[in-house]
């Protein structure tokens, strides 16, 4: 009994037994309990069951969504491409098919040329340009066409995407004289002159052709052009329409554009440059005074209207332009959705 009292009063002797209070320490965990605490506890994340599969690995989630997104974007891509093709074909570039030999050897039968419709809004028509023009009201009998309204132009452009527009009367020739020029044939050497300056046409005339087999002389009226084919022996051009309104010339406003590139066949790819003879500075040094016109006739002349070719170039350009536009609008819509989601 004495021993029990002495133990109770002695603070240095700790109690031993299951009911003895644990001493206050520094919070350290005995070595035997560290493994148990590291291996378990309430904060441990539950392991997914064998039947639970992560959402990102579940089949039928992302791939169908991507396919559906592409199918939704496809009509938008097609509409944008067609709209761009219409704009390009109506206001920028158009391909034409060459059906006759009146421009040989510069243009062969079956060639397709690309016509620039923008260039003459930026600069005037130059001598030596190969141009496509509408002959209605000048070379083709009948009233001059009225300026088409926007709806009529759109209708013709849409029809033109699938073939030639109705009532097509387009021709292709080379510009020899511009307003005010005195165009005459021929010199003692058989050359055509513009404002008294002889043209050296051997580089583009059909081999064996002479500049003109019959004489003519005309002062080109204001806002009109004198045009001729490169195959002079068979070309039906300004020389053969002197008895028509304008004395065989064509109105500048009826020019569709400048033919600048042979795009088909690939073996004939080349740029249609202006021949150097038209770059003579003396051509602009003087203008004719007075008007003298002598007519010519051409019973075997050729001047078949050129036909717009299949719109492969505008359609291809439309699809090329539509791809980045579609991608851009898709990204823009994605950004808008994310911003709206953040606000919620």
Q: Where are the domains of the chain?
A: 65-92+311-344, 98-309
Q: Is the pLDDT of residue 235 over 70?
A: yes
Is the separation of the CB atoms in 133 and 170 below 8 Å?
Answer: yes
Predicted confidence band at 245 (pLDDT cuts at 50, 70, 90)? confident
Q: What is the C-alpha to C-alpha distance for residues 298 and 213, in angstroms, rounded to an integer?
A: 10
Counting residues of the chain whose pLDDT is more than 90, the rounded percentage is 41
Cβ pair 95, 308 in contact under 8 A: yes
Whole-structure pTM value? 0.65
C-alpha triplet 220, 124, 248: angle, nearest 5°: 25
- The catalytically annotated residue of 100, 102, 138, 303 is 102
Q: Is 228 exposed, middle or buried (0-12, 13-18, 19+ CB in 10 A)?
A: buried
Q: Is the pLDDT of residue 202 over 60?
A: yes
Spatial distance between the Cα atoms of 18 and 55, rounded to a whole number of angstroms: 51
Q: How far is CA 246 from CA 12, 220, 233, 256, 292, in A?
A: 133, 9, 23, 18, 13
Mean pLDDT of the chain: 75
Q: What is the mean pLDDT of residues 270-295?
A: 75
Query: What DSSP line would sit under 261-310, residue for residue?
Result: EEEESGGG-EE-PPPGGGG-GGGGT----S--------TT-B-PPBEEPP
Residue of 89, 112, 117, 173 marked active site: 173
Least confident of 23-27, 103-107, 159-163: 23-27
Q: Span 24-51, mean pLDDT?
A: 48
Mean pLDDT comparison of 41-50, 164-173, 288-297, 333-342, highest-scoring range = 333-342
- Pull the structure tokens for residue 22: 């644990």
| Interval 127-156 mean pLDDT | 76
Q: Bridge partners of 94?
A: 115
Band of pLDDT at residue 316, cut at 50, 70 and 90: low
**Token pair recorded at residue 283:** 């051509």
Residues 343 and 85: their CA atoms lie apart, in Å, by 40
Position 38 scores a pLDDT of 45
Write out the DSSP string of 226-254. Answer: EEE-SSTTTB-SGGGGTTSTTTT-EEGGG
Peptide bond into 265 cis (omega under 30): yes
Q: Does 102 participate in catalysis according to the annotation?
A: yes
- Whether the pLDDT of residue 66 is over 60: the answer is no
CA distance 331 to 69: 13
Q: How open is the CA angle 102-104-107, to the nearest 5 degrees? A: 100
Question: Can you give the pLDDT at residue 104?
Answer: 95
Supply the pLDDT for residue 284: 86
- Residue 265: the pLDDT is 93
Q: What CATH superfamily classification does 98-309 receive?
A: Umud Fragment, subunit A (2.10.109.10)
What is the structure's pLDDT at 297? 41
Instruction: Report the first-to-last Cα separation within the chain, whole angstroms.
Output: 77
* Three-state secondary-structure class, residue 66: helix
Q: Average the pLDDT over 99-108 and give the result.
A: 94
- Which residue did the predictor score with more confidence, 15 or 191? 191
- pLDDT value at 207 more than 50: yes
- Structure confidence at residue 85 (pLDDT): 74
322 and 80 Cβ atoms separated by less than 8 Å: yes
Q: Which residues sit opposite 264 in a β-bridge?
A: 112
For the sheet with 197-198, list strands across it.
197-198, 192-194, 182-185, 216-219
- Give pLDDT, residue 9: 41
Q: Say what the pLDDT of residue 218 is.
A: 95
């Amino acid at each position: 009994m004495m021993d029990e009292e002495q133990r109770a009063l002695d603070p240095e002797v700790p109690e031993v037994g299951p009911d003895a209070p644990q001493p206050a320490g520094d919070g350290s965990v005995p070595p035997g309990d560290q493994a148990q605490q590291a291996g378990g506890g309430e904060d441990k994340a539950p392991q997914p069951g064998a039947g639970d599969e992560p959402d990102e690995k579940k089949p039928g989630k992302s791939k169908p969504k991507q396919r559906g997104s592409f199918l939704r974007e496809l009509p938008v891509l097609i509409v944008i491409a067609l709209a761009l093709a219409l704009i390009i074909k109506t206001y920028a570039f158009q391909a034409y098919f060459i059906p006759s030999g009146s421009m040989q050897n510069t243009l062969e039968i079956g060639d397709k040329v690309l016509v620039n419709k923008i260039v003459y809004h930026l600069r005037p028509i130059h001598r030596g340009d190969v141009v496509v023009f509408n002959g209605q009201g000048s070379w083709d009998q009948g009233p001059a066409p009225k300026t088409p309204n926007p709806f009529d132009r759109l209708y013709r452009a849409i029809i033109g995407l699938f073939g030639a527009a109705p009532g097509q009367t387009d021709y292709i020739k080379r510009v020899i004289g511009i307003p005010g020029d005195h165009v005459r044939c021929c010199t003692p050497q058989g050359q055509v002159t513009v404002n008294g300056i002889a043209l050296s046409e051997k580089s583009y005339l059909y081999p064996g052709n002479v500049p003109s087999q019959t004489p003519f002389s005309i002062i080109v009226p204001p806002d009109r052009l004198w045009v001729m084919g490169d195959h002079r022996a068979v070309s039906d051009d300004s020389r053969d329409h002197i008895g028509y309104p304008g004395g065989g010339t064509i109105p500048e406003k009826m020019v569709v554009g400048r033919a600048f590139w042979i795009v088909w066949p690939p073996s004939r790819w080349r740029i249609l440059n202006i021949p150097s003879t038209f770059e003579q500075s003396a051509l602009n040094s003087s203008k004719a005074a007075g008007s003298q016109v002598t007519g010519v006739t051409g019973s075997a002349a050729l001047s078949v209207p050129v036909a717009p070719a299949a719109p492969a170039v505008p359609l291809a350009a439309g699809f090329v332009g539509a791809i980045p536009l579609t991608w851009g609008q898709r990204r823009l819509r994605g950004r808008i959705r994310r911003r709206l989601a953040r606000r919620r």
